[in-house]
Amino acid sequence: MIKKHDKINKKEIWAIGDVQGCYDQLRTLLSHKVFSSGENIELWFAGDMINRGPKSLDTIKYLMSLNERNVCVLGNHDLHLLATFAGFRKSSSSDTLEEILNSADVIDIVNWIRFRPLAHFEQNNLMVHAGVMAQWDIKKTLSLASEVQDLLRDKNWQHNIKKIFGNTSLIWDDELKGNKRFRTITNALTRIRLCRITGNMVFSIKDPDAKEKDTNLVPWFEMPDRKTKDITIIFGHWSALGLFIQKNLICLDTGCVWGRSLTAIRLNDRKIISVPFNIK
Ligand SMILES: [Mn+2]
Q: What is the pLDDT of residues 106-143, one digit of tens each?
A: 999 999 999 999 999 999 999 999 999 999 999 999 99
Domain of 152, in residue numbers: 4-276
Contact 52, 59 (CB under 8 A): no
Residues 4-47 pLDDT 10s: 555 555 799 999 999 999 999 999 999 999 999 777 999 999 99
pTM for the predicted model, two decimal places: 0.95
Residues 238-252 pLDDT 10s: 999 999 999 999 999
Structural domain count of the chain: 1
- C-alpha 14 to ligand 1 mean position (Å): 19
- C-alpha 150 to ligand 1 mean position (Å): 21
- C-alpha 242 to ligand 1 mean position (Å): 12
- If you count them, how many residues does the chain have? 280
Residue 197 banded pLDDT, cuts 50, 70, 90: very high
- C-alpha 78 to ligand 1 mean position (Å): 9
- C-alpha 20 to ligand 1 mean position (Å): 9
Render the burial of 135-158: b for 16+ CB within 10 Å, e for the rest.
bbebebbbebbeebbebbeeeebb
- C-alpha 48 to ligand 1 mean position (Å): 5
> Above pLDDT 70, what percent of the chain?
97
- C-alpha 47 to ligand 1 mean position (Å): 7
CATH number where 43 lies: 3.60.21.10
Calculate helix-pair angle for 106-114, 76-85, nearest 10 degrees: 130
Q: Average pLDDT over the chain, rounded to whole?
A: 95
Residue 49 banded pLDDT, cuts 50, 70, 90: very high
